[in-house]
Structure 1
């Protein structure tokens, strides 16, 4: 290899890893690497206004595409700002690379301006966490970081003093390559046979499926149809498991439906397919369980599995389809009757005309304009509850901060969605609390000409926290939010802003936003309705 700057090798390797954009904010401990990026046409630098947005967007990119999301920050405050998004990536198990600047290598350890002990700070969040000591190490450590992020499904942190990026090196004998080999994990025959015996003897089997069904949805649905089993989807798998499938009972838990809750109570066999569902109170008391997961560490973690199958889901489903005996559909039919009544009730609630806009009206109108294959970026809060209950997804992709459940994830997710799929419709559903946490980065969508639609359910309060305070027997306190004119914020950023205070105004706003080609915010003032009373 010829002599060139270590930073140039980094850009070359990022391209080999198919990373085509990086989220970050320039600063004094990454400026040498910024110079290398300036010369590079095939890697797009997305300048965000807050590093948390960049890390959340990188995590969202990984959730949507399965490919590494990349973010960058300076030392000190920029690195601190990354933490929330990196924890989102860790807890939702997606690969992210964070390139984090550090003070000059000859000053490390001297308690210099903006120096923090970054290795210690990132220790808990990272699956790979190393500081590069010499410029010669940088290319190989970059490869190691990205490979580990893929292998362990989490954030890899590479801490680099900026002077190392500008140091010329000879990369003559690479130790590593820009390659990750995905293992094919298959079940043991004896585990499959034992599971088949349990399934064949069950009268009321119920399937609870999760994100691990990705790549195996067709087989999972065929299996559910073969054994005449009600199917429940974990909320993070919404959009992956079609809501309209006849066996689908909805979601479980606080975000769930009554039909899902009822069939789970009656189950005499629980089949956990690609999910480590953590809410024990919503699962059967003592039904036997078959858990199928690619990660052996989660089998039996939250529910006592009778049989654990460490495998990818698709071959297990295919084997079951070929080896399971036909079943009666009595339990499924009764479950479907309950589900149909539930859907009829929801339909009536969405069709009900009221003077003031209600949250379910917003979901119905979003459903009306939602395009096939669209990306739905969902924030955390009461908007999550309304979306879980009323929004039906078939082939759309939905992303949310599922495990750490961080408010403010909706806008970064929408930005990531439009960059990943520029030809697809991207809609974000966000509460006023969540949007105000990171609304400064709406200008990022405007700057990069990303025509996303942000729908804000504005009730001037943190409603989910109010509900929780009431459930604890406490008087709600400090949940009111000072109102912001979000439509005016959008206009001030150079986007389009709409205000909707009734259903007619919302319809018009959504139609105009869909037809437009600019980033848009719809500030939908919704009536304050207790979710539990619906």
Structure 2
């Protein structure tokens, strides 16, 4: 009687779990698995990336965008090692990813064979579940367990599969488990709700800080804010939960945030944190009563002292609290910062209209705002571009992803690839600095190969500009931040895409309009001002004095005054 090979059974189970594509690079220790994928290519697409890191970052981005399992794979040794950066991005941003890593054959393990690496220890820190498969019969059970763990614990599961296992037939009577995940709603304890009720009904200057754990709870969040007369501030991973132009929104918080949000936080007497473990506690109130809502009890009070912890689903918990508000404040606190927010948007609009050459980065975001559809996918790389997008782009119903906690350069393009695969009929943008884009630019040809129309906007200033600014704020002279860049527009053409180079502000919008109407992957190479610093919304005295020290060092390096060029 015919018995199924372990590799075939594994792919069938992934299809049962709803997996429809895998990112990876073929190689000798996973060729048997690749063959199993090939035989199911109508149901399970293999997306060949040019670097396994791009595959892992794309898998993490797919999970961030959809909530579904992202899957990537790599060969033993170098391929598996290359996966790590993207897997850490998934771990720290808490999204479900399955990594399939090849390994040398079982009889060669422990013999220091070619490309053998101790993968169990390699993945130990990054994974919520990691298992080396040692028999064909074991594989089906651990596949289910790995996927279930990734979903339940919102993290990375790793299956290390020696090269001989997928070719083995599964004996009859092998253990069979279910490809199902059971979840339940979580609500806080009644005594904690009662404590929160007392604080909320006494609040005169309440403010809400919402993170990505509040996604899917927009309506409940807004209803509570309306009942409390409380402004809403968003973390960077939470950008878009509430539209940026909503009257209750004060935008983001921190170095990437708005001045009204910073000042409102300083004045608030009651802070409601929803679905966030915000790390930059210096931006939070010093003496406010604090209520922290999170589905994961271990996050409550982890970084900032709280008065009441509510361990529960954000939507359910917010709805419960809204019904308990009896004595809202007079709204003066909210109105004060709504007025300041209107002034803030006016100032940003003026920056976006700047007609200087080199082009101001803010001008690019203003043009992007005009062409981006209401449901566009925005994959934002790390660096100064993160600041410009966080401050200037008014999110409505778009999806916004970045590398939030790991903040790894190079995430923009893989995120756009994942966005186009997840949402093939939507606009997709990668917004990248020149440093971040060059880390993964080889996978632009992946977008071309698989006919994934997208627009990659590269802010080209020949600098690792955020590091330049950090050095200056520390009072140091700029060092090691210059970049030697190619012509990114020509590179797009060479790869089979479309490229536009923009050097004048008036050419930005026409280039974007042509790019979004095209049917090919596109790179818009925008030459921007390297000296436009992403200044914090509120500048501290230490930052001012540090920058002053930097200017002195620039003038008197090595005891020599540098004369400006003629």
* TM-score interval (norm. to shorter): over 0.9
- Structure-to-structure mapping, 1:260-275, within 5 angstroms: 260-275=261-276
| Pairing 1:381–2:383 present | yes
**Partner residue of 2:535?**
532
CA distance in 1, matches of 2:37, 2:354: 54
**Partner residue of 1:297?**
298
Between 83-92 and 278-287, the greater mean CA deviation after superposition: 278-287
**Partner residue of 1:470?**
472
Secondary structure in 1 matching 2:249: coil
Contact residue 51 and residue 81 of structure 1 kept, 8 A: yes
- Structure-to-structure mapping, 1:325-344, within 5 angstroms: 325=326, 326-344=328-346
**Partner residue of 1:406?**
408
**TM-score w.r.t. structure 1 length?**
0.99
Contact residue 132 and residue 159 of structure 1 kept, 8 A: yes
Secondary structure in 2 matching 1:235: coil
- Structure-to-structure mapping, 1:104-119, within 5 angstroms: 104-119=105-120
Gaps of 5+ in 2: 538-566
User: How big is the alpha-carbon RMSD for the aligned residues of Structure 1 and Structure 2?
Assistant: 1.1
**Partner residue of 2:212?**
211
TM-superposed CA distance for 1:313, in Å, is: 0.8
TM-superposed CA distance for 1:2, in Å, is: 5.3
CA deviations 1:369-395 (Å, max 9, x no partner) are: 000111000000011111111111110
**Partner residue of 1:191?**
192
CA distance in 2, matches of 1:162, 1:51: 18
CA distance in 2, matches of 1:124, 1:315: 33
CA distance in 2, matches of 1:275, 1:113: 44
**Partner residue of 1:242?**
243
**Partner residue of 2:547?**
none
CA deviations 1:22-56 (Å, max 9, x no partner) are: 00000000001111111102000000000000000
Secondary structure in 2 matching 1:185: coil
| Pairing 1:516–2:505 present | no
Moved over 4 A (4+): none
TM-superposed CA distance for 1:533, in Å, is: 8.3
CA deviations 1:147-175 (Å, max 9, x no partner) are: 11111111100000121101111354534
CA distance in 2, matches of 1:259, 1:29: 55
**Partner residue of 2:551?**
none
| Pairing 1:48–2:49 present | yes
CA distance in 2, matches of 1:171, 1:500: 64
CA deviations 1:119-153 (Å, max 9, x no partner) are: 00110011111100111101111111111111111
TM-superposed CA distance for 1:330, in Å, is: 0.8
CA distance in 2, matches of 1:251, 1:154: 26
CA distance in 2, matches of 1:92, 1:205: 28
CA distance in 1, matches of 2:474, 2:353: 33
Contact residue 451 and residue 518 of structure 1 kept, 8 A: yes
CA distance in 1, matches of 2:436, 2:208: 33
CA distance in 2, matches of 1:13, 1:112: 31
CA distance in 2, matches of 1:182, 1:233: 27
CA distance in 1, matches of 2:323, 2:288: 25
TM-superposed CA distance for 1:61, in Å, is: 0.4
| Pairing 1:24–2:24 present | yes
Secondary structure in 2 matching 1:147: helix
Contact residue 240 and residue 396 of structure 1 kept, 8 A: no
Gaps of 5+ in 1: none
**Partner residue of 1:456?**
458
CA deviations 1:223-277 (Å, max 9, x no partner) are: 1111100110011111222111101001111101100000000010110011111
**Partner residue of 2:553?**
none
TM-superposed CA distance for 1:527, in Å, is: 1.2
Secondary structure in 1 matching 2:29: coil
Contact residue 259 and residue 342 of structure 1 kept, 8 A: yes
TM-superposed CA distance for 1:5, in Å, is: 0.5
Between 435-444 and 507-516, the greater mean CA deviation after superposition: 507-516
Secondary structure in 1 matching 2:276: coil
CA distance in 2, matches of 1:266, 1:385: 24
Secondary structure in 2 matching 1:290: strand
TM-superposed CA distance for 1:214, in Å, is: 1.4
Structure 1's 213 and 533: CA in aligned 2 closer, same or farther, altered over 3 A? closer
- Structure-to-structure mapping, 1:148-227, within 5 angstroms: 148-170=149-171, 172-227=173-228
**Partner residue of 2:562?**
none
**Partner residue of 1:130?**
131
Structure 1's 316 and 93: CA in aligned 2 closer, same or farther, altered over 3 A? same
Contact residue 357 and residue 529 of structure 2 kept, 8 A: no
CA deviations 1:54-78 (Å, max 9, x no partner) are: 0000000000000000000000000
**Partner residue of 2:367?**
365
Aligned length: 534
CA distance in 1, matches of 2:357, 2:133: 61
CA deviations 1:296-317 (Å, max 9, x no partner) are: 0010011101000000011111
CA distance in 2, matches of 1:510, 1:364: 11
| Pairing 1:392–2:394 present | yes
Secondary structure in 1 matching 2:164: helix
**Partner residue of 1:143?**
144
CA distance in 2, matches of 1:162, 1:241: 48
CA deviations 1:327-373 (Å, max 9, x no partner) are: 31111101101111111111111123223311001000000000011
Between 321-330 and 519-528, the greater mean CA deviation after superposition: 321-330
Secondary structure in 2 matching 1:100: strand
CA distance in 1, matches of 2:176, 2:266: 55
| Pairing 1:433–2:435 present | yes
